[in-house]
Chain A
């Protein structure tokens, strides 16, 4: 049945997330201003809280499905702060790729490590098929050469999933993913980026210079090579259907924080905000806030819908792009609009609104820009290939 109400079990989990988020928020400014300091794996206050995952015991199929509740949790966490979490989640984007495409042996060997994902290069971003980083098989080892940039949590990670090409002339078909551990010979973390926002999450640049890794580190195993068009590229694109709603949720948690803060401050200042009246019944300021709230709600629901489809084991390629594109645009509009509504207070670093404005901006860029999402979606609804619509 169609329902949007949370169950008691759902609420119990989200209430706990909210309590933690309120603590995380007290650290938000510090790690924003100390970009190169890592927040601890566990904040001191965390030991007083129950582990959120322990609350999953006793859930039934009458409760909200796993993918959906996980996104609501993620939103709840980033409502506190993007990257200060009470307990750092094990696993980065590379772990999602490992789960999607790794062999059983690889899952065992690499599953407990935090794995970053290195796709982008100085010369290729959205056009990820244009990878220049190479992999050459030499006896029982792969030799990796090339540069990677914008590697999220690349400094903290224990290892990384790297995209490299076996044959540049083969385009996408030539691209494979490789598991590389920190400390591998010829693997250098070149530097850490200084960013507009999400500063507590490190972003690294890598250099691979004749970096030799065992043959078994090819993600998906040797079998992924002969099968044309399978494995590597498609395997990783599949990952995005799971991570795009997650990225949308991360941005939306911060946008919700901005909306909540703005509403509270406006109400303190005597602005009345009601849902009943039409445009003649309340101020332009109140109407603007409600408009932004509607944008938030629409983006949130498209995001939950994409996750819900995943939970039902239904295809969600279109919906993953829809929510990412919608949220990417909505969080920008919301945070920009909130600053407009609060004026000088909105840009003061005494408050977090200006930080949320900076933090959310990446939402429409990483994991595929809004334009890439529209391209994917447009091809799908038009029945076009990537050749038909470039």
Chain B
């Protein structure tokens, strides 16, 4: 049944997170961007909302609530409205825990899920992106070579969220001789694995408040049991789709932030004797921003709902991510133009959103829903 109506529970999640984003995230956004740091306090405060732990079954120490990609998309929109960098930091444990929850063996679930049911934020991340101008999730250069009952992982990763403190990485690598989704595997790699070199914090255009690291894997030896899903491997389509929908949701929240900032500005800013919002040129930009935001939202919801019913969401996720990347860039671009010179000044958050929009649009695998 086609329905655009969140459940009462989902409405409550939205309200709670909207409030959290406004009070706890937005006020920190600028400082985090300037210092390229995320305070532990905000991570712990967000952790107490149970964003990751509530979805972990009671058997593994979680709250055992429904695993809902749709709810996660609703949550991510609100958090990213506050700040996209902090939203991705807050949800980074999910990028490790949810794939294990969805695709891990019983042994893997028992070992790793309890890490995420404690009182305090626990960092662990998915490592998918690679530092190559021709990077493509389906054409990974990081390889997994079987060696007896072990695997040897070799390659480079980048944009690994909270790499400075993550206890484990879920490293996505290509099994030799297989292409595309079928060739993708994920391996649980502890931070102290031999041959794993974790680089310093990366310096990026946008999302500076999100500390990320590069990884160099030089024949990192892991036991066969660390292959996600065991011999069955993973549903790589689901893994990639989940990240793409998450990124679309982050771009959605960011776009809404831009519009909600540009509207009052345009009504207050007087030029030639009246508010610039009273000119059709400016008013139509705002209308277009509103239109595009709805487009991004419904595409993200649609893709999340496909994931929620367990079907292949490759198509819907691709459309949602592609659309969001283009539309959110346009929204941030037009939003900056509404502010004119002030849009270029770091006193206003719009230039930060402009950089973040460009960054989010090209990422892959930094979040999971």
Contact = CB atoms under 8 A, between A and B. Distances in A.
A5 B319 contact: no
Given A3-B305, A308-B2, 19 more contacts: A2-B70, A6-B1, A10-B2, A64-B3, A65-B1, A281-B136, A290-B319, A290-B322, A302-B291, A302-B295, A318-B290, A319-B294, A326-B291, A371-B284, A375-B280, A375-B287, A377-B290, A382-B267, A384-B277
B199 interface: no
B298 A298 contact: yes
A305 interface: yes
A89 interface: no
Contact of A294 (B2, B286, B299): B299
Given A305-B4, A312-B5, A326-B291, A293 B319 contact: yes
Contacts of A3: 1-3, 305
Interface in B305-335: 305-306, 309, 314-315, 317-320, 322-323, 326-327
Interface string A158-191: 0000000000000000000000000000000000
A389 B278 contact: yes
B291 A297 contact: no
Contacts of B138: 276-278, 281
Contact of B283 (A280, A301, A308, A378): A378
Interface of B: 1-7, 10, 70, 134-139, 180-181, 237, 240, 263, 266-267, 277-278, 280, 283-284, 286-288, 290-291, 294-296, 298-299, 301-302, 304-306, 309, 314-315, 317-320, 322-323, 326-327, 364
* Interface residues of chain A: helix, strand, loop or mixed (majority): helix
Given A2-B3, A4-B305, A63-B1, A301 B295 contact: yes
A388 B267 CA distance: 11
A255 interface: no
B1 A62 contact: yes
Nearest to B134: A280
Interface centre among A69, A304, A374 (most CB of B within 10 A): A374
A373 B287 CA distance: 9
11 contacts: A5-B309, A10-B2, A280-B136, A301-B298, A304-B2, A305-B298, A319-B294, A322-B294, A374-B283, A378-B283, A390-B278
Contacts of A318: 290
A291 interface: yes
Interface centre among B5, B237, B327 (most CB of A within 10 A): B5
A384 B278 contact: yes
Contacts of A390: 278, 280
A2 B315 contact: no
Contacts of A378: 277, 280, 283-284, 286-287
Nearest to A71: B2
A5 B1 contact: yes
B239 to A, nearest CB: 12
Contact of A298 (B135, B137, B299, B318): B299
A281 B139 contact: yes
A248 to B, nearest CB: 12
A386 to B, nearest CB: 12
A281 B314 CA distance: 15
Contacts of A276: 137-138, 180-181, 237, 240, 314, 318
B294 A302 contact: yes
Interface centre among A278, A375, A379, A381 (most CB of B within 10 A): A278
